[in-house]
Every structure is written in structure tokens, then in C-alpha cells.
């Protein structure tokens, strides 16, 4: 530790006037550099997740609107299922296809001939739709936990780098026995840079996590609303078959 302090003091004395970002990083202690690398990697991965989620959620919402327009156009549900049953590529279409698949299986086995059996069919279709909604939302929420983790931990990781850097600076002051600003400033600046970088990594992750969580909560309600309306349609058709 003492040797590091001597080296830091020598460096501070020779390049005390250069406080550019690159110089601060180059002169930083190994632990501080490790913290910066960790924060940089977290930030890059966070932005990759953010761009992917923005693209994916926009696509899902657009596809859902297109599907709802076709669904409520008054056409045959059987024909719609025949067109998209094996080609469903977004949550709402997958939800519709899974319910229709169970509907057809039940009809094929003659399970809608009595009130008791038709009730069982409705329960199975409802269960299938609930499981489908849960599975599709899990896919959309993948990696959001990483954003939450970066948002909550990055400032503290940066603060750790700052505390470590300040400890080294004080050690350098004690060894050099020089408390002038020219000696103190570089070490303090290096230390504070770690905290700043932690905030740079954390703030976008927190904002993105909150935005995506809000969007997915609204979409979850939209899926559940569609499932309820679709279930009512199938229930009416079951009642017509059992009459």
C-alpha cells in the first residue's frame, strides 16, 4: 500500500495539471480501474437491453393492434385460426391460437354435449389463456432484472471506487508531506470520477426499467382484457352447442 502511495504521489507531482478523463483513468489505482471496467460493461449491456426492449415492445404493441382490428372485424374465428394458428408471432396472436387449439381439441372429443362438460371446457380454456399470458409476459420481461440491479447497485459500486481512491490520495499526501492543491486534486478527481461513472450507468437503467415495467403492466392488462372478452365469446358458442 505504501509503495502504491509513493507511486501515486510521484505521478501526481508530475502530471498534476492534466485532469482530462483519459489521464484520470490512466493514473487511477488498479481497484478503481476494475470498478470503472465493471461499470462500463454494465452500462454497455444495459444499453443493449434498452435498445432491444424498445424495438421489441414497439413491435408487440403494433402487432397487437393489427390483430385486434382483424379479430373484431366480424370474420370467422375458425378461419382466423386457420390463417395464423401456426404462424402466431406475438403474444396476443399466441393467446388466441392457444385458446382455439384447446377449443378444437375439446370439440373433436365431443366434450361439449352437456352443461357439466361445457363448464370443464371453459375452465380449461381459461387456464390455457392464463398460462399463455404468464409465459409471454415472462419472455417480454427477460433481462429487466438486470436493469433493476444496475440501477440499484451501480452508484454504490462507483462510491466504493471513490472511497478507495480517496484513501490512496490521503496516503499519497502523508508520504509526500505536501498538502498543496496541485498534489491533492488529481487523486480526488480520479476518485470522484468513479462515482460519476456509477451514476452514468445507473440513471439510464432506472429510467428504462420504470418505463418498460409501466408499458408491460399496461400490456398485461390489455391481454387479460382480450382473454376475458374472447372467453365470453367462446362461452356463448358453447351454450349454443349445448342447447
Q: Is pLDDT of 26 > 50?
A: yes
pLDDT at 144: 94
Lowest mean pLDDT among 24-28, 63-67, 121-125: 24-28
Lowest mean pLDDT among 145-159, 163-177, 185-199: 163-177
Query: Percent of the chain, pLDDT > 70?
Result: 75
Q: Is pLDDT of 102 > 50?
A: yes
pLDDT at 10: 47
Question: Cβ(233)–Cβ(77) under 8 Å?
Answer: yes
pLDDT greater at residue 13 or residue 150: 150
Say how far apart CA 179 and CA 25 lie, in whole Å: 22
- Residue 11 binned pLDDT confidence (cut-offs 50, 70, 90): very low
pTM for this one? Answer: 0.79
Average pLDDT of span 116-134: 82
- Residue 20 binned pLDDT confidence (cut-offs 50, 70, 90): low
Q: Is pLDDT of 171 > 90?
A: no
pLDDT greater at residue 232 or residue 216: 216
Lowest mean pLDDT among 6-10, 15-19, 192-196: 6-10
Amino acid at each position: 500500500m505504501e509503495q502504491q502511495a509513493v507511486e501515486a504521489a510521484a505521478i501526481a507531482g508530475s502530471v498534476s495539471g492534466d485532469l482530462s478523463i483519459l489521464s484520470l483513468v490512466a493514473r487511477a489505482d488498479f481497484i478503481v480501474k476494475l470498478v470503472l471496467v465493471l461499470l462500463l460493461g454494465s452500462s454497455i449491456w444495459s444499453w443493449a437491453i434498452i435498445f432491444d426492449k424498445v424495438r421489441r415492445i414497439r413491435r408487440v404493441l403494433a402487432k397487437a393492434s393489427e390483430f385486434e382490428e382483424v379479430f373484431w372485424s366480424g370474420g370467422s374465428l375458425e378461419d382466423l385460426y386457420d390463417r395464423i394458428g401456426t404462424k402466431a408471432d406475438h403474444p396476443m396472436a399466441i393467446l388466441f391460437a392457444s385458446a382455439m387449439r384447446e377449443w378444437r381439441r375439446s370439440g373433436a372429443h365431443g366434450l361439449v354435449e352437456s352443461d357439466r362438460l361445457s363448464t370443464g371446457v371453459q375452465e380449461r380454456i381459461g387456464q390455457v389463456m392464463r398460462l399463455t399470458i404468464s409465459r409471454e409476459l415472462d419472455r417480454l420481461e427477460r433481462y429487466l432484472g438486470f436493469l433493476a440491479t444496475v440501477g440499484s447497485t451501480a452508484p454504490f459500486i462507483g462510491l466504493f471506487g471513490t472511497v478507495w481512491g480517496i484513501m490512496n490520495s490521503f496516503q499519497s499526501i502523508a508520504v509526500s508531506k505536501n498538502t498543496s492543491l496541485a498534489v491533492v486534486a488529481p487523486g480526488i478527481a480520479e476518485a470522484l470520477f468513479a462515482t460519476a461513472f456509477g451514476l452514468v450507468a445507473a440513471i439510464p437503467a432506472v429510467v428504462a426499467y420504470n418505463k418498460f415495467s409501466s408499458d408491460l403492466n399496461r400490456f398485461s392488462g390489455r391481454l387479460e382484457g382480450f382473454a376475458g372478452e374472447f372467453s365470453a365469446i367462446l362461452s356463448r358458442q358453447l351454450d349454443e352447442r349445448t342447447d
